[in-house]
């Protein structure tokens, strides 16, 4: 029997298929067919068959490598970044993230939940700890560890990087390993700030639908993290 939920999901899927998606970039991060996580490569292959018009690959970072701020999410959402090819674009998490970036001067334009909306990031870049969409949004520890080489490469590609916002515990844990910090030196906590040499790591709960619906994360709590980042970057 077709449920209301699945009918709604099907409507979303067919509408999503008609929207613009980004094409794979030639040389940013992992190859579009990266085979290093067999489970994720197989999942990606299944979705490519089902939704050939979607991006369906490791999602490259959005924003200039000259930026001072890098936001690290968990992984592409199935109908968000995995569909559109731009981090946090087209799913619920982007509806909180991008307006917050606009409010604190880290973006310019209008966020319309599609990669051709003309939105520009200002001194800000967005990437993910895991580049490929995982089933149920849950990468395994081995997949997180395997993809960390690309997170490290992302850090190394940003010569002016001074601030990193980790969205959620998994992004935090992978980031501190990528930065060479020990877990006891930098425990995850919403609003915490950790020194990492000439960089600072700021922790936030992930801006997921679940966290905001359950009020684990309120828009005010999320904004306070970016207010602190803005103030610190402006202070020099």
Chain positions contacting ligand SF4, by CB under 6 A: 30, 34, 36-37, 40-41, 58, 130-132, 143, 146-147, 150
Quick one: 107 or 166, whose CB is closer to ligand SF4?
166
- Among residues 87, 174, 183, which one has the least CA distance to residue 133? 87
- Among residues 51, 65, 67, which one has the least CA distance to residue 9? 51
- Cα 146 to Cα 132: distance, rounded to the nearest angstrom: 11
CB of 74 to ligand SF4, least distance (A): 11
- Cα 69 to Cα 54: distance, rounded to the nearest angstrom: 28
CB of 57 to ligand SF4, least distance (A): 8
CB of 203 to ligand SF4, least distance (A): 22
Quick one: 13 or 146, whose CB is closer to ligand SF4?
146
Using only the alpha carbons of the chain, give its radius of gyration. Answer: 17
Task: Quote the Cα angle for 47-93-139, to 5°.
Answer: 50
Quick one: 148 or 230, whose CB is closer to ligand SF4?
148
Strands 107-108 and 120-121: antiparallel
CB of 20 to ligand SF4, least distance (A): 23
- Cα 188 to Cα 136: distance, rounded to the nearest angstrom: 23
CB of 44 to ligand SF4, least distance (A): 8
Quick one: 64 or 140, whose CB is closer to ligand SF4?
140
Helix (H, G, I), strand (E, B) or coil at 135: helix
Quick one: 172 or 190, whose CB is closer to ligand SF4?
172
- Cα 219 to Cα 100: distance, rounded to the nearest angstrom: 9
CB of 201 to ligand SF4, least distance (A): 21
Quick one: 30 or 77, whose CB is closer to ligand SF4?
30
The answer to whether residues 63 and 88 touch, using CB atoms and an 8 Å cutoff, is no
């Amino acid at each position: 029997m077709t449920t209301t939920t699945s009918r709604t999901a099907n409507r979303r899927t067919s509408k999503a298929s008609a929207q613009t998606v980004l094409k794979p970039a030639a040389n940013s991060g992992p190859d579009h067919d990266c085979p290093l996580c067999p489970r994720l490569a197989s999942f990606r292959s299944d979705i490519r068959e089902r939704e050939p018009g979607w991006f369906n690959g490791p999602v490259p970072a959005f924003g200039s490598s000259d930026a001072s701020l890098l936001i690290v999410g968990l992984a592409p959402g199935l109908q968000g970044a995995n569909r559109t090819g731009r981090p946090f674009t087209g799913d619920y998490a982007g509806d909180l993230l991008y307006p917050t970036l606009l409010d604190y001067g880290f973006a310019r334009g209008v966020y319309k939940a599609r990669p051709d909306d003309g939105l520009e990031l200002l001194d800000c870049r967005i990437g993910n700890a895991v580049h490929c969409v995982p089933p149920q949004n849950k990468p395994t520890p081995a997949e997180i560890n395997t993809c960390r080489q690309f997170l490290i490469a992302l850090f190394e590609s940003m010569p002016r990087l001074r601030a990193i916002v980790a969205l959620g515990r998994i992004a935090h844990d992978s980031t501190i390993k990528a930065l060479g910090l020990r877990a006891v030196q930098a425990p995850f906590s919403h609003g915490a700030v950790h020194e990492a040499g000439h960089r600072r790591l700021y922790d936030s709960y992930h801006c997921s639908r679940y966290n905001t619906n359950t009020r684990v994360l309120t828009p005010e709590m999320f904004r306070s993290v970016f207010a602190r980042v803005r103030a610190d970057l402006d202070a020099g």
